[in-house]
Amino acid sequence: MRFSWKNICLPISCISNTNQKTATNPSKERLLLLSRQTSVPSKVYMSDFSNSTISLNDFSNSFLINIHIFSYEELKTITQGFSKYNYLGEGGFGEVYKGFVDDTLKTGLKAQPVAVKALKREGGQGHREWLAEVIILGQLKHPHLVRLVGYCCEDDHRLLVYEYMERGNLEEHLFQKYGGALPWLTRVKILLGAAKGLEFLHKQEKPVIYRDFKPSNILLSSDFSSKLSDFGLATDGSEEGDSSFTKSVMGTEGYAAPEYISAGHLTTMSDVFSFGVVLLEMLTARNAVEKYRAKRGRNLVEWARPMLKDPNKLERIIDPSLEGKYSVEGIRKVAVLTYQCLSHNPKSRPTMTTAVKTLQPILDLKDIQNGPFVYIVPVAGSNEVHDIKCKDDVKVVKEETEKEIKVCPRRQAGRKNRRKHKAMRSRAVYSDTALYKSLGTSLYTPAN
């Protein structure tokens, strides 16, 4: 049997139903009223779409802000047939491809690169998640929320079109095995932007609970400004009366708040706990869950949280690739904030407004050891490191080979085995000064 979205129960149908002459429920009556309004309407919520058969395309222009409706063929064209060369990645929703739209495609749409996300029909997320993104991102605009350019709802196809973010996501930079480690101030800047995004969501008339805050959902622009993405699991609180919604605990292992996992209690404090987990990942450069580690250290929160409140133990968990190039006072303030966010008692956690106020001044702390950009040239069979060049902010070091020095025969074999992979595991450390000098921009964005 051919799969079709029409064969399953959906919150709405994207195909206009011309046979329906009258509204049969309050939500539909409200949507029909909004679709006829020419002025700016009141806000639409997820619950307004429950059991409604009205077409999303029929009233989208009534409440969505600058959102374009694309045909499937148009999106196929701008991604060159969803070519593997334009493939960016894949998540629970589906595959993501890079595309480019020109200003002749849609009236009012400027030429720009975009990211096109296609819902996979056999995936774990479905129409409700697609709809949540359209409704939330279609109405909420903020510098730290990814911008939704448009969507496609045609036959069995469900696609979303976003602005393209040049530097991918935080996960790719924070946990990369090779290349330079993210500088301390850059990490703070990224998490501060994400905190502002969560704060904006929580301050809505009906607070929006993000429910899936994690590094892979924090996208980065060319100057490392951060934006929240992937709102498929988000809720605006209007669905709380739906028993099927409240009973389903969704999210990513290691980031969900304990009260949400155990009892399904979902509040803005659930997002605060997830934010605390990502803060801890920022400090340690370790994943929330690492199954390959010993049982005691698999869960990052259980292992590291006790050490956050002890200044004498705090240094043990700090990302060693930073090599001391951070503000000691800033590290301690972030550690205290992280400890509070990870409290098992939701009432003891700070609000995102408090988190923003805590992180903002850390960018101005000056007690940072600004070192040069360091690049380690890997040489097979190396044993010692010597400086061979130093120019401006760039320092290059070369590892001396075994042929150039004499090693005790008894220790030679052991040293060779221990050292041969060490160079490839080394990570270059960029100071914030050197990194932003190379980017041709500054860490701070001046206010207009």
Confidence of residue 212 (pLDDT cuts 50, 70, 90): very high
Across 25-156, the runs of DSSP E, i.e. the strands, are: 68-69, 87-90, 94-101, 112-119, 148-154
Q: Consult the annotation and say whether 117 binds a ligand.
A: yes
Confidence of residue 38 (pLDDT cuts 50, 70, 90): very low
Q: Is 434 exposed, middle or buried (0-12, 13-18, 19+ CB in 10 A)?
A: buried
The letter for the amino acid at 275 is F
Reply yes or no on whether the pLDDT at 148 is more than 90. Answer: yes
pLDDT in tens, 342-367: 999 999 999 999 999 999 999 999 88
Instruction: List the one residue out of 361, 359, 287, 367 whose CA is nearest residue 319.
Output: 287
- The single residue of 48, 212, 236, 271 carrying the catalytic annotation is 212
CATH 1.10.10.60 fits 170-364, yes or no: no
Reply yes or no on whether the pLDDT at 311 is more than 50. Answer: yes
Write down the domain spans for the chain: 5-163, 170-364, 373-439
Q: Is 271 a catalytic residue?
A: no
Domain 5-163: assigned CATH number: 3.30.200.20
Contacts of 21 (CB under 8 A, 6+ apart): none
DSSP 197-220: HHHHHHTSSSPPB-----GGGEEE
* Token representation of residue 145: 């929320």
The letter for the amino acid at 200 is F
Total residue length of the chain: 448
The letter for the amino acid at 186 is T
Higher pLDDT, 337 or 250: 337
Could you check whether 5-163 and 170-364 share the same CATH topology? no
pTM, entire model: 0.76
* Token representation of residue 334: 């972030």
- Mean pLDDT, range 116-137, rounded to an integer: 80
